[in-house]
Structure 1
Amino acid sequence: MIDKETLINRFISYVTIDTESDPNSDTTPSTEKQWDLARKLKNELELMGMTEVTIDENAYVMATLPSNVPHEVPVIGFISHFDTTPDFTGANVQPQIIRDYDGQDIVLNADKNIILSPEYFEDLKQYKGQTIITTDGTTLLGADDKAGITEIMEAMQYLIAHPEIKHGKIRVGFTPDEEIGRGAHKFDVEKFGAQWAYTMDGSQIGELEYENFNAAGAIVSIEGKIVHPGYAKGKMVNSMYIATDYINSLPRLETPEHTSDREGFFHLYRLDGGVDNTKLEYIIRDHDKGHFEARKAMMVQLADELNEQFEKELVTVEIKDQYFNMREKVEPVMHIVDIAEEAMKELGITPLIKPIRGGTDGSQLSFMGLPCPNIFAGGHNFHGRYEYVPVESMMKAVEVIVKIAEITARQ
Structure 2
Amino acid sequence: MQHIIDRFISYVTIDTQSDPNNPAFPSTEKQWDLAHLLVDELKQIGLSDITLDDNCYIMATLPSNVNHQVPTIGFVAHIDTSPDYTGTNVKPQIHPNYDGMDIILNTEENIVLSPSYFEDLLLYKGQTLITTDGTTLLGADDKAGVTEIVSAMEYLIQHPEIRHGEIRICFTPDEEVGKGAHKFDVAKFGAEWAYTMDGSQVGELEYENFNAAGAVVTINGKIVHPGYAKGKMINSMLIAKDFIAALPQNEIPQETTGYEGFFHLCDMQGEVEKTTLEYIIRDHDMELFENKKNQFKQVAKDLNKHLGQELVQIEIKDQYYNMREKVEPVIHIVNIAEEAMKELDIKPLIKAIRGGTDGSQLSYMGLPCPNIFAGGHNFHGRYEYVPAESIVKAMNVIVKIAELTAEKYR
> What's 2:86 paired with?
89
Structure 2 CA distance for aligned equivalents of residues 305 and 207 of structure 1: 42
CA deviation digits over 1:223-242, x for unaligned, max 9? 00000001100000000110
1:246 aligned partner: 243
Aligned pair 1:219/2:216, yes or no? yes
Q: Does 1:305 align with 2:310?
A: no
Q: Residue type matched to 1:119 in 2?
A: S
Query: Aligned residue for 1:49?
Result: 46
The Cα offsets for residues 246-273 of structure 1, whole Å up to 9 and x where unpaired, read as 0000011100000000100000010000
3-state DSSP of counterpart to 2:212:
strand
In the TM superposition, what are the counterparts of 1:5-404 in structure 2 within 5 Å?
Answer: 5-404=2-401
Provide the C-alpha distance between the structure 2 equivalents of 1:17 and 1:84, rounded to a whole number of angstroms: 10
SS of residue matched to 1:119: coil
Alpha-carbon shift at residue 121 of structure 1 (Å): 0.1
| Equivalent residue letter for 1:382 | F
Aligned amino acid, residue 94 of structure 1: K
Offset, 1:47: 1.2
Q: What is the CA–CA distance in structure 2 between the aligned matches of 1:81 and 1:18, rounded to whole Å?
A: 13
The letter of the residue matching 1:331 is E
Query: How many Å apart are 1:311 and its aligned residue?
Result: 1.0
Q: SS of the counterpart of 1:294? A: helix
Equivalent residue for 2:406, pick from 403, 406, 409: 409
Whole-angstrom distance in 1 between the partners of 2:31 and 2:396: 28
The amino acid across from 1:400 in the alignment is V
User: What's the CA shift string for 1:267-295, capped at 9, x where partnerless?
Assistant: 00100000000000000000000000011
For residue 88 of structure 1, give the secondary structure of its aligned residue in structure 2.
Answer: coil
Deviation at 1:335, TM superposition (A): 0.1
Query: TM-score if structure 2 supplies the norm length?
Result: 0.99
Aligned-partner Cα distance in 1 for 2:256–2:205: 21
Instruction: Give CA-to-partner distance per residue, 1:303-323, whole Å, 9 cap, x none.
Output: 011111111000001000000
- Percent identity over paired residues: 70
How far is the alpha carbon of 1:182 from its aligned partner?
0.3
Deviations 1:108-165, CA, capped at 9 Å, x for gaps: 0010000000010000001000000000000000000000000000000000000000
Give the counterpart letter for 2:15 in structure 1.
D
Q: 1-side partners of 2:283 and 2:396: how far apart?
A: 33
**Distance in 2, Cα, partners of 1:55 & 1:347:** 33
Corresponding residue SS for 1:301: helix
Segments of 4+ moved more than 2 angstroms: none
Gaps of 5+ in 2: none
TM-score when normalising by structure 1: 0.99
CA distance in 2, matches of 1:103, 1:319: 45
> Take 2:123 and 2:103, find their aligned partners in 1: how far apart are those partners?
14
Deviation at residue 300 of structure 1 after TM alignment: 0.7
Alignment gaps of 5+ in structure 1: none
C-alpha deviations, 1:156-208, integer Å up to 9, x for none? 00000000000000000000000000000000000000000000000000000
Q: How many pairs does the alignment contain?
A: 408
What's the secondary structure of 2:75's corresponding residue? strand
Aligned-partner Cα distance in 2 for 1:402–1:310: 61
Aligned AA (1:231): Y
Cα distance in 2, alignment partners of residues 319 and 41 from structure 1: 37
| Local SS of the residue matching 1:344 | helix
Question: Amino acid of the residue matched to residue 228 of structure 1?
Answer: H
Deviation at 1:394, TM superposition (A): 0.6
